C-alpha cells in the first residue's frame, strides 16, 4: 500500500475533550458544549431534553442511563439542557395517582466568564480574514474567555488588533473548556449538522456568523501596520495589485487586461507594485506570471510586510482571493475583478468589477461541489471556446472606468 497517497493534511480535526467538562451537584452528571451540547448521565431512570431557546423547539427528548447524549448540531445553538428523573416502578406502586417525572437539573447556555474555544479550518487567507472578526463579536456578546486556534502564520497579523483573545498553538485544549466551535466550509456543503447554511447562498462572512449564532452583518477584520511600515512605503503615490489566485477561474483571464491597466496607472502618476507571493505559478497546463510593467514586490515576504506595504497604497486592485481581503482589512479601497463568485460572496466594495452578459458565478451554483484539487475547473464550459468567459469578457476599459470612479470619489 502506498502511504504517500494518504498524506494530505485533513481540512479540520475535531478534538473535543473526551468527556463533558462541566460538573454538577449530582455524581456522574456532567455536561458541556464542546462539539455540540453533550451530557453524561449516570445509571438510572432518566430522560434528557435539549431545547433550542431561540426557536422554542425541543430537538431531543429521550430516556438515558449510564451514557452520553450529544446534539446532532455542532455549531452554536442557544441550548437549554434538562435532565428529568422518572419514577421507578416501586414508587409507582407505593403512590396512588399519577407520579410526574422530576426535573433534577437544568442549564441554559451561558458562557459569561467561561472558557470558549474557536478553531478555524484550513490555510486559506481569504477564508480566515472573512471569518475571524466574528470571534471578537462573539467574545463581546457572551463576555467569555475566548481562545482561538488558527494556522500559526496568521497569529502574528491578528494578535495585535485583538488583545483580548488568547491565541493558542497546537491541539492542546484549555482546561475546563465550556464550549468549542469549529469554523470552516464543510463538504458536502449541504451538510446541516456542521453548518446551518450553505456559504454559496449566504456568502463567506455570513457563513461564519450563522455558525456562531450572530447577526449576519458584515464585519471588517482589523489588521494593523507595524512600526516598520514607513520603510516599506514609497513617498511617491502607488497602487498595489495582486494577480495570482488559487484557481484559474478566479484570475482575470483577459490577455490584455493587466498590461493595459498598469500602463494606464503609470500615466496617471502611480507606481504599480505587484504584491503576490509568487512571481510565476504553474499548475498542470496553466501558467500565470507577474504582468509586464508592474514592479516586482513578490517573494517570500511575511504577511505583516504585505500589510505594511498595502497600508500605504492609494488603492488596491485584486481578485476574489486572500490579498483582497488583506487590503480590505487594512482599510484600503479595493477594486475587485470577479467572475467566479456572485455578489455578496466576498466583502462589499463599491468598486467590484463584474459583468453579467456571459456565464458567471459558477462558484455559487449549488449544482456544483467544487473540487479544490482541480485548479483548472470551469464547471459549465471547460474545454470549450467559452472557458473562463466570466473574466475574459471583463474589458480593461471597464476596469479603467471603475478606477476613474474610485479616484473621483476619493479625490486622489
- Residue 82 in 3-state DSSP? strand
Q: Are 117 and 76 in contact (CB under 8 A)?
A: no
Domain 22-108 class in CATH: mainly beta
Q: What is the pLDDT of residues 378-389, one digit of tens each?
A: 999 999 999 999
The reply to whether 229-410 shares the fold of 115-211 is: yes
| Percent of the chain predicted with pLDDT > 90 | 85
Q: Which of 54, 108, 127, 409 is flagged as catalytic?
A: 127
Q: How confident is the model at residue 165 (pLDDT cuts 50, 70, 90)?
A: very high
Quickly tell me which residue has 502506498 as its cell: 2
Q: What is the pLDDT of residues 31-88, one digit of tens each?
A: 999 999 999 999 999 999 999 999 999 999 999 999 999 999 999 999 999 999 988 7
Q: How confident is the model at residue 294 (pLDDT cuts 50, 70, 90)?
A: very high
In Å, how far from its chain's centre is CA 76?
A: 15
CA 192, CA 209: separation in Å to the nearest integer? 15
CA 348, CA 345: separation in Å to the nearest integer? 9
| Closest to 265 (Cα-Cα) out of 288, 244, 294 | 294
Q: Length of the chain, please?
A: 412
Q: Are 115 and 176 in contact (CB under 8 A)?
A: yes
Q: What is the pLDDT of residues 177-201, one digit of tens each?
A: 999 999 999 988 889 999 999 999 9
Whether the pLDDT of residue 89 is over 70: the answer is no
CA 116, CA 73: separation in Å to the nearest integer? 17
Q: Are 48 and 83 in contact (CB under 8 A)?
A: yes
Q: Is 373 a catalytic residue?
A: no
The whole-number pLDDT of residue 230 equals 84
> 102 versus 90: which is more confidently predicted?
102
Is 115-211 in CATH node 1.10.287?
A: no
Is the dihedral angle over the CA atoms 320, 322, 328, 332 positive or is it negative? negative
Mean per-residue pLDDT for 249-259?
97
Helices (DSSP H) in 318-359: which residue ranges? 322-329
CA 116, CA 93: separation in Å to the nearest integer? 46
> 98 versus 96: which is more confidently predicted?
98
Q: Are 375 and 284 in contact (CB under 8 A)?
A: yes
| Closest to 91 (Cα-Cα) out of 158, 45, 127 | 45
Q: Are strands 30-34 and 38-41 parallel, antiparallel or unpaired?
A: antiparallel
The C-alpha cell that represents 405 in the structure block: 470612479
Whether the pLDDT of residue 2 is over 50: the answer is no
**Contacts with 403 (C-beta within 8 Å, 6 or more apart), sequence order:** 261, 264, 265, 315, 317, 335, 351
The whole-number pLDDT of residue 3 equals 42
Q: How confident is the model at residue 239 (pLDDT cuts 50, 70, 90)?
A: very high
Q: Lowest mean pLDDT: which of 97-101, 176-180, 219-223?
A: 97-101
| Closest to 286 (Cα-Cα) out of 376, 371, 180 | 376
- What residue ranges do the domains of the chain occupy? 22-108, 115-211, 229-410
- Residue 282 in 3-state DSSP? strand
Q: pTM score, two decimals?
A: 0.94
- Residue 102 in 3-state DSSP? strand
In the chain, count of helices (H) and strands (E)? 12, 20
Average pLDDT value over all residues in the chain: 94
Q: How confident is the model at residue 1 (pLDDT cuts 50, 70, 90)?
A: very low
| Closest to 245 (Cα-Cα) out of 215, 206, 286, 209 | 286
The C-alpha cell that represents 220 in the structure block: 471588517
| Closest to 117 (Cα-Cα) out of 14, 219, 189, 11 | 14
Is the dihedral angle over the CA atoms 15, 18, 19, 22 positive or is it negative? negative
> CB-side exposure of 288: number of CA atoms within 13 Å?
23
What are the beta bridge partners of residue 48?
Answer: 62, 83
The whole-number pLDDT of residue 5 equals 46
The whole-number pLDDT of residue 91 equals 65
Q: Which CATH superfamily is domain 229-410 in?
A: Glycogen Phosphorylase B; (3.40.50.2000)
Q: How confident is the model at residue 100 (pLDDT cuts 50, 70, 90)?
A: confident
The whole-number pLDDT of residue 231 equals 78
The whole-number pLDDT of residue 4 equals 42
Amino acid at each position: 500500500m502506498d502511504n504517500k497517497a494518504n498524506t494530505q493534511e485533513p481540512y479540520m480535526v475535531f478534538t473535543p475533550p473526551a468527556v463533558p467538562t462541566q460538573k454538577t451537584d449530582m455524581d456522574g452528571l456532567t455536561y458541556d458544549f464542546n462539539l455540540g451540547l453533550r451530557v453524561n448521565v449516570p445509571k438510572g431512570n432518566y430522560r434528557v431534553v435539549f431545547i433550542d431557546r431561540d426557536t422554542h423547539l425541543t430537538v431531543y427528548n429521550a430516556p438515558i442511563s449510564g451514557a452520553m447524549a450529544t446534539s446532532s448540531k455542532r455549531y452554536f445553538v442557544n441550548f437549554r439542557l434538562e435532565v428529568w428523573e422518572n419514577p421507578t416502578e416501586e414508587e409507582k406502586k407505593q403512590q396512588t395517582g399519577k407520579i410526574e417525572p422530576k426535573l433534577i437539573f437544568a442549564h441554559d447556555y451561558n458562557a459569561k466568564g467561561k472558557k470558549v474555544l474557536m478553531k478555524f479550518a484550513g490555510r486559506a487567507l481569504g477564508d480566515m480574514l472573512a471569518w475571524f472578526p466574528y470571534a471578537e463579536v462573539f467574545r463581546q456578546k457572551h463576555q467569555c474567555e475566548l481562545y482561538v486556534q488558527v494556522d500559526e502564520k496568521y497569529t502574528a497579523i491578528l494578535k495585535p488588533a485583538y488583545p483580548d483573545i488568547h491565541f493558542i498553538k497546537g491541539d492542546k485544549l484549555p482546561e475546563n473548556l465550556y464550549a468549542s466551535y469549529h469554523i470552516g466550509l464543510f463538504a458536502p456543503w449541504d451538510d446541516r449538522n456542521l453548518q446551518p447554511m450553505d456559504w454559496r447562498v449566504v456568502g463567506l462572512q455570513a457563513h461564519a456568523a450563522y455558525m456562531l449564532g450572530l447577526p449576519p452583518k458584515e464585519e471588517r477584520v482589523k489588521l494593523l501596520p507595524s512600526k516598520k511600515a514607513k520603510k516599506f512605503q514609497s513617498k511617491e503615490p502607488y497602487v498595489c495589485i495582486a494577480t495570482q489566485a488559487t484557481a484559474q477561474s478566479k484570475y482575470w483571464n483577459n490577455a490584455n487586461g493587466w498590461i493595459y491597466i498598469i500602463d494606464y496607472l503609470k500615466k496617471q502618476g502611480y507606481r504599480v507594485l505587484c504584491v503576490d507571493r509568487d512571481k510565476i505559478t504553474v499548475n498542470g497546463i496553466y501558467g500565470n506570471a507577474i504582468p509586464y510593467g508592474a514592479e516586482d514586490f513578490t517573494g517570500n515576504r511575511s504577511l505583516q510586510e504585505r500589510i505594511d506595504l498595502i497600508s500605504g497604497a492609494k488603492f488596491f486592485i485584486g481578485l476574489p482571493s486572500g490579498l483582497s481581503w488583506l487590503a480590505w482589512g487594512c482599510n484600503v479601497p479595493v477594486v475587485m475583478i470577479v467572475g467566479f463568485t456572485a455578489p455578496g460572496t466576498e466583502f462589499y466594495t463599491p468598486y467590484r468589477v463584474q459583468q453579467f452578459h456571459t456565464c458567471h458565478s459558477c462558484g455559487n451554483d449549488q449544482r456544483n461541489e467544487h473540487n479544490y484539487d482541480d485548479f483548472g475547473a470551469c464547471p459549465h464550459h471547460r474545454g470549450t471556446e467559452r472557458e473562463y468567459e466570466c473574466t475574459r469578457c471583463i474589458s480593461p476599459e471597464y476596469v479603467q472606468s471603475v478606477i476613474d470612479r474610485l479616484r473621483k470619489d476619493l479625490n486622489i
